[in-house]
Amino acid sequence: MAASRGVSIRTRLTVLSVLATLAPVGVALGFVAERDLRDIRSEMMTSSTLIGYVIAEYSASAMAFDDRRDAQRTLDGLTRDENVIAAGLYDTGGRRFAAYERRAPRQPSTLPPVITAAASMLPAVMEGEHVIVTQPVVSHGTRYGTLLVIVSTEHLRSRIHGYLLSMALLGLGALAAAGALALMLERMVSRPLLALADVARRIAQTEDYSVRASGVSHDEIGLLAGAFNRMLTEIDGRQRQAQQAIRVRDDFLSIASHELKTPLTSLKLQVQGLLMMPPESLSHDDAARFKQTLDVVDRQIVRLDKLIGNLLDVSRIAAGRLVLDPAETDLSSLVHEVTRQFEPQLQRCKCSLESRIEGSVTGFWDAPRIDQVVTNLLANAIKYGGGKPIELSVDSTPERARLVVRDHGIGISAEDQKRIFGRFERAASLSYGGLGLGLFISSQIVRAHGGTIRVESTLAVGSTFTVELPRKAQRGAAT
């Protein structure tokens, strides 16, 4: 049963058709042949016995009067029965009295020159290709000798050959019929199934759910194809709905981004305009206060902008739409630029930054996104660094670029280290502020680049974040 699982429907149908056609025909023919051959055999035995009886009757007087010529004449009468090959009359001593033989000139005699008494006692028997009849020759109660008749079974054998030939022809016919039947069944069953499988395979390859199984018949396979097509219609519909939902969500993200950033734009420009070109009427003290106030407003705008950016990024990541726009990027100069932007903040919190940055570490990355990662790690190091020195390094191997940011601040417990890269997760207490999105977004950006981000940390000792980015795409682009 298990072995038959690997056999195709086509082969199974052919085998079944051959068996179904051949078996009844073979059995019927065998039955008829057996009956017929048994009848012929019994008929031959009867007729041979009868011939023996008649010839023995006719030969009795010739033997009684020792008239060999008359006995020979009687035996020669057997010429008319072509089945009789030979016949011999033997006297009571077993010596041949007269003989008749139908044979070609050089063919050896089938008739024994003498017979034993035992042989003469046997009835008609079939021996090899002959029926041998032994009949006592008796007249008025006196036995004068024995008649031996040899009858050919050629007739029976040719009938058997005929049957065998018929059976072979029938077998061939049955095979041809079975082949045709299998082909028909295959057209009916196997081909529509293969066509259905072909449609499924094409859909798997092209993801085009508008394809349908064609030529749906009204039989069971047609029902299957119909159900298959209905399922495709359903999937197609859902696929379109899903695509529509993605379009709606993308539009929403785009509009949300625009709507949230538009008020910030004029606010920021106005504030920066005032900072750059303050009213000339202000006294020196008022001008200083004016600048201080607007600096705070400007920082808060930047903060609000980053929060909006983070929320939109989280929506994009959740929707699987974090799209990278990679280009040849120098990580070293990018990190220099970020640290330069952090200078005022570092001064405010009075913490020093030690940088060890390789001259140039290029790769094929999305620069604004990598900027986001570096900014996030550095901002965290300042935020949780407790004013202690921060170390930052950039180095590389031919395959990878590595960024390490180390602080000596509050640290992260082993348990918290496992979850800080998750969405809305944060290890520090709520008093530190923030949405808990920075590391999540950073890790997603790094992962989207095919890189890794990891943390080593001890509570109250500090944390080290290591980002590794593959440079492969850059090498690929260079060749």
Partner 1 sequence: MTAAEPRPWVLIVDDDEDIRDTIRSLLQLRGYIVDTAPDGRVGLERMRTAHPPALVILDYMMPGMNGEEFREAQLADPELARVPVVLLTGAGDVGSAAHVDIERMAKPIELQLLFDTVARYCTKGST
- Nearest to partner 1 of 103, 258 (CB atom): 258
Check residue 279 and report its DSSP letter. Answer: -
Q: Which stretch binds partner 1 (CB under 8 A): 148-156, 193-201, 270-278, 383-391?
A: 270-278
Exactly one of 255, 282, 327, 478 binds partner 1 (CB under 8 A); that residue is 255
Q: Does 419 bind partner 1 (CB under 8 A)?
A: no
Residues 413 and 287 sit within 8 Å (Cβ to Cβ):
no
Nearest distance, CB of residue 300 and partner 1, angstroms: 12
SS3 (DSSP) at 280 = coil
Nearest distance, CB of residue 426 and partner 1, angstroms: 24
Q: Does 268 bind partner 1 (CB under 8 A)?
A: yes
Q: Does 266 bind partner 1 (CB under 8 A)?
A: yes
Exactly one of 116, 142, 265, 352 binds partner 1 (CB under 8 A); that residue is 265
Q: Which residues contact 408 (CB under 8 A, 6 or more apart)?
A: 385, 386, 388, 389, 390, 461, 462
Which two structure tokens, joined as six digits, stand for 409?
A: 């601040």
Q: How far apart are CA 108 and CA 249, in angstroms?
A: 109
Exactly one of 30, 173, 263, 433 binds partner 1 (CB under 8 A); that residue is 263
Nearest distance, CB of residue 408 and partner 1, angstroms: 33
Q: Give, as ranges, the residues between 395 and 414 that touch partner 1 (CB under 8 A).
A: none
Q: What is the DSSP string of 426-466?
A: -SS-GGG-S-S-HHHHHHHHHHHTT-EEEEEEETTTEEEEE
Q: How far apart are CA 10 and CA 376, in angstroms?
A: 65
Q: Does 272 bind partner 1 (CB under 8 A)?
A: yes
Q: What is the DSSP string of 113-128?
A: SB--HHHHT--SEEET
- 369: nearest Cα among 340, 331, 395: 331
Q: Does 287 bind partner 1 (CB under 8 A)?
A: no
- Nearest to partner 1 of 95, 321 (CB atom): 321
Cβ-count burial of 212 within 10 angstroms (0-12 exposed, 13-18 middle, 19+ buried)? middle
Q: Across-strand partners of 143? A: 138
Nearest distance, CB of residue 280 and partner 1, angstroms: 12
Which two structure tokens, joined as six digits, stand for 104?
A: 């070609």
Q: Give, as ranges, the residues between 365 and 384 that touch partner 1 (CB under 8 A).
A: 368
Exactly one of 233, 262, 300, 360 binds partner 1 (CB under 8 A); that residue is 262
Exactly one of 206, 270, 352, 397 binds partner 1 (CB under 8 A); that residue is 270
Q: How far apart are CA 229 and CA 223, in angstroms?
A: 10
Q: How far apart are CA 70 and CA 316, in angstroms?
A: 127
Residues 407 and 381 sit within 8 Å (Cβ to Cβ):
yes
Q: Which residue is listed with tokens 């850059």?
A: 474
Distance between start and end Cα atoms, the chain: 57
The interface mask with partner 1, positions 326-365, x = CB under 8 A, is ----------------------------------------
Q: Does 258 bind partner 1 (CB under 8 A)?
A: yes
SS3 (DSSP) at 150 = strand
- Nearest to partner 1 of 75, 301 (CB atom): 301
Q: Does 312 bind partner 1 (CB under 8 A)?
A: yes
Exactly one of 1, 277, 414, 430 binds partner 1 (CB under 8 A); that residue is 277
SS3 (DSSP) at 306 = helix
Q: Which stretch binds partner 1 (CB under 8 A): 108-116, 150-158, 226-234, 266-274?
A: 266-274
Nearest distance, CB of residue 259 and partner 1, angstroms: 8
**In the complex, which residues of this chain contact partner 1 (CB under 8 A)?**
250, 253-255, 257-258, 260-270, 272-273, 276-277, 301, 305, 309, 312-313, 316, 321, 323, 325, 368
